[in-house]
Structure 1
Amino acid sequence: MAYELYYWDGLQGRGEFVRLALEEAQAPYVDVARGEKKDGLGIGAMMGELEGGEPYPPYAPPFLKDGDLIVPQTANILFYLGPKLKLAPHNEGLRFVANGLQLTIADLVTEAHDTHHPIASGLYYEDQKDAAKARSADFIAHRMPKFMSYFERVLTQNPDGPRHMVGNALTYVDLSMFQIVEGLRYAFPKATKHFADHYPHVVALRDAVAKRPNIAAYLDSERRLPFNDTGIFRHYPELDRAVR
């Protein structure tokens, strides 16, 4: 049976981290909101059904349906899928390391989102532009470098070498780091112009992932939605600035 991925249509968002793992593994899946499952429920209907009868309904997309099992939250989904897709370390202890790194990535994703919606998600960007400028300035100057320096250090200190975030083989964390670099470069092209100088191992990992045959094919397909102004990573020129 194909995995069913439930996420909002028209944007990459948090669902993209799951898509990258499924695409790399060539796992059968359907992106339900995009109409690939003709006899399935849409997200709104599915959420309503789960709220009405499911004892442990997900709070919000993304969530994955595998048969009767429903797995919510991006990091949790990847922790579940990793061993099944052979994208997790064989060592059980390292699987928890990978999960911890994915949760740290989730923290960064939240902070990136809050650069353009620092006051409330329910408000339009135009209603909080001044606050967004202040939040973005701090993110570029302090928060983004702190996260990226940490990821660079993880790669540098990996006992198996800096080619992977965990262990000596590709994991879902590597795929997620690719998405992080892509998203930050889209949102802040000026601020990330010298990423390769500051975080060479992170950028080398991004480049290696982009060259993987299954990922390259996915990126060149219509399944890979473009970044846009409804996703997590948004490019507003007034929020970007060059850094040394």
Structure 2
Amino acid sequence: MAYELYYWDGIQGRGEFVRLALEEARADYVDVARQSGRGMGTGAMLALMRSKHEAYIPFAPPFLKDGEFVVSHVANILFYLGPKLGLAPEDEKLRYVANGLQLTITDLVGEVHDTHHPIATSLYYEDQKEAAKARSAAFISERIPKFLGYFEQVLQQNPGGSSQIVGNRLSYVDLSLFQVIEGLRYAFPKAMKAYRVDYPALTGVHDAVAKRKNIAAYLRSDRRLAFNEEGIFRHYPDLDLAP
């Protein structure tokens, strides 16, 4: 039975971190909100979230159905999928290390979102532009180097080698780091151009993931949605500053 991924149509967003793992493993999955021919779409996702009968309903997408089992939150989904897809360390203790790294990526993604919505998600970006400029300036000068510097150090100190961030083989965390770098380059091209040379191991992981056969095919396909100003990583020129 195919995995069912539930996420908003039209944006990469947080759902893309799960898609990358499914695509790398060539897993059989359905991107439910995008499958209009199935008579499901976004309505099925909202119906499950608002169900008065289902146990343990998810708070928000993305979430994944494996048969009747529903698992939510990106890091939690990947912690569940990783061993099944061959994208988690074989050592059980290292699986918790990988989960910790993925949770740190979750923190970073949350901060990226807050650069363009620093006051409230219910307000348009245009309603909070001045606050967004201040938040983005701090994010670029302080938080990007904080997070990327951390991941660079973990890569450099990985006993399994700096070609991957945990253990001695590719994991879902490497795929997620690829997405983070892609997203930051889209949202903050000036800032990321200046930072590029500071993180050689992180850049190496990004480039290696992009060249993987299944990922490269996915990136060329229409299944890979383009970045846009409705997702997590948004490019607003006013917010992109050279550090």
TM-score (norm 1): 0.97
The residue aligned with 2:128 is 128
After the TM superposition, which residues 1-244 of structure 1 pair with which residues of structure 2 at under 5 Å, given as runs?
Answer: 1-35=1-35, 38-39=38-39, 41-50=40-49, 51-243=51-243
Q: Deviations over 1:124-167 (max 9, x none)?
A: 00000000000000000001110000000000000111000101
Helix, strand or coil: the match of 1:193?
Answer: helix
TM-superposed deviation, 1:37: 5.9
Deviations 1:61-107, CA, capped at 9 Å, x for gaps: 00000000001100000000000000000000000000000000000
Distance in structure 2 (CA, Å) of the matches to 1:178 and 1:49: 31
Q: Distance in 1 between matches of 2:90 and 2:164?
A: 14
Structure 1 counterpart of 2:47, one-letter code: G
Over 3 Å counting, the alpha-carbon distance change for 1:53 and 1:43 in structure 2 is farther
Residues 19-28 or 47-56, more deviating: 47-56
**Residue 161 of structure 1 aligns to a residue in which SS?**
coil
Structure 1, 196-205 or 15-24: larger mean CA deviation: 196-205
Native 8 Å contact 1:30 1:37 kept in 2: no
RMSD: 1.1
Whole-angstrom CA distance in 1 between matches of 2:171 and 2:195 = 22
Instruction: Detail structure 1 runs of 4+ shifted over 4 Å in the superposition.
Output: none
Deviation at 1:36, TM superposition (A): 5.8
SS of the residue 1:17 aligns to: helix
How far, CA to CA, are the matches of 1:226 and 1:195 in structure 2? 23
Q: Secondary structure at the match of 1:169?
A: coil
- Closer, same or farther: CA 155–37 of 1 in aligned 2, 3 Å: farther
Partner amino acid for 1:191?
A: A
- Identity %, equivalent residues: 69
How many aligned positions are there? 242
Q: Tell me by how many angstroms 1:241 deviates.
A: 0.8
How far residue 194 of structure 1 moved from its aligned partner, in angstroms, is 2.9
CA distance in 1, matches of 2:48, 2:165: 39
Please report how far the alpha carbon of residue 47 of structure 1 lies from its aligned counterpart in structure 2 after TM superposition: 3.0
CA contact (8 A) 2:33 2:45 kept: no
The alpha carbon displacement at 1:45 in A equals 3.5
The whole-number CA distance in structure 2 between the counterparts of 1:22 and 1:211 is: 16
SS at 1:191 equivalent: helix
Is the CA contact 1:30–1:36 (under 8 Å) kept in the aligned structure 2?
A: no
1:190 is paired with a residue whose SS is helix
Distance, in Å, in 2 between the alignment partners of 1:49 and 1:141 is 41
Task: Report the residue type matching 1:218 in the other structure.
Answer: Y
In structure 1, what is the Cα distance between the partners aligned to 2:185 and 2:65? 32
Which ranges in structure 1 are unaligned for 5 or more consecutive residues?
none
The amino acid that maps onto 2:133 is: K
Of the structure 1 ranges 193-202 and 106-115, higher mean CA displacement relative to structure 2 is found in 193-202
